[in-house]
Structure formats: C-alpha cells, structure tokens
Amino acid sequence: MCGITGWMTNDGAPVEERLLKHMTDQIAHRGPDGDGYFNGGDIALGHRRLSIIDIDGGKQPMYCEKKEIILSYNGEIYNYQALRRELEGLGHRFKTASDTEVVLMSYKQWGETCVERLRGMFAFAVWDSQKQTLFIARDRVGIKPLYYSFLPSGDFVFASELKAVLAHPHLPRVLRLDALEDYLTLGYVPDPKTILEHVHKLPPATTLTLKKGSKAPTMRVYWT
C-alpha cells in the first residue's frame, strides 16, 4: 500500500510545497518507507511509499528520461512482467525492476489508453508536460481509492484518502446530506459521492484528464 497526493493551481500561481507535504503526511501510514515530491511550479505531486517490488529502485514520483512525464502511483500491476517484455520489444529501456516504471512506460507508449492494458489494483496520477495535462486513473473495481476536489479558487487537489484532501485549508467543510442518508441506510457512501459536498471519489474503471488552466475535466469509463 502506498499513497499519492497532488495539486494543480488554476491561475498559474506556484503550489505551496509546505502544504503539499502536509497533505502527504496525513497518509504516511500508507507508505512508511519514504516520501517523494515533484514540484513543477503550478503542478505538484506527492508520494508515500511502501517498498515491495524493487525496494531500492522504485522511488517516486518517477520520471521518464527527459522528465516530460511524471508518475505518482499506488498499487500493484499483476501483468507488469508481460507488459515490460512487450514494451522492451517496442524499444523502451528500463532502469528499474519495479512495476511503477512499467506503468510509466505504458503511459509513454499508449497514452491514456494504457489503463486498458493494466491488470491489477491501482490509483495513479501522471503529469504530461508536453500535453500540459494531469491524468488520474483508478482500477477496474475500485480497490485503490482516489479522492479529488475543485477548490473555490479553481485549484484541483487529489489524494488517496479524504483526510489528505481535508488537510488543505481552502477546502469548504460542508456536509453532504444525501450522502449522510446513504451512509445511514447502506453503511457506506456510494461513488462518486463522499460525505462532503466539495469532495468526490473517482469511480472505479474511470479516468480523469484535466488540461492546465481548465475547470472542465474530461472523464472516461474504460471498462464495465
């Protein structure tokens, strides 16, 4: 189990790295073996790592060689060895033995459709500096959680757990009454709702793409 966080500002203002680290610290229990951060100014990614595959080589966020693609990933890809062989056959070269790098290279090769090839449990975020897009995705049945919110400023934040999103001081704390009814009736809050008005869960088998400067994400269901 690992944990991811991220923050994209809407107006080009720089991300407060101190605050991103504070958000990421809220999920330190998901990744006690280390943390890492990417700060690209108005886009930043955080990561807490539980080391399982390639303990020394799988540090995150992970970059492509030219650093045009950055990945923060939580999960396990069951078919990563087969995908690695396929990607090597297409000319990609790997520096680690981790499944994280397979996810990174899969995005580099196939773009957003890479999720259709992944077999496993995952939630991840990719910053594509060439396309100027943030791409987040969740596994087919939603084993790994992923929460997101558009703040009143238009900034976009996301994390593996609600408590990390709540660590942002500009998030409105407004109880969602129909979600409370769901909880009292069902014992849980169904996707994409959460107990708060301004926070949503990315549904299973769904991706979200957000262009820098936009408040209108593109969402796609890639499996049923």
Q: Please give the positions annotated as active site.
A: 2
CA–CA separation, 75 vs 50, rounded Å?
Answer: 10
What sections of the chain are H helices per DSSP? Answer: 17-25, 80-89, 99-110, 162-166, 177-186
Single-letter residue type at 85: R
Helix (H, G, I), strand (E, B) or coil at 72: strand
Question: What separation, in Å, do the N-terminal and C-terminal C-alpha atoms of the chain show?
Answer: 25
Cis peptide before 61, with omega less than 30 degrees from 0?
yes
* Structural contact between residues 8 and 212, judged by C-beta atoms closer than 8 angstroms: yes
**Which residues fall within 8 angstroms of residue 112, CB to CB, at 6 or more apart?**
135, 137, 207, 209, 220
CA–CA separation, 216 vs 210, rounded Å?
Answer: 7
CA–CA separation, 221 vs 79, rounded Å?
Answer: 21
Eight-state DSSP code of residue 195 = S
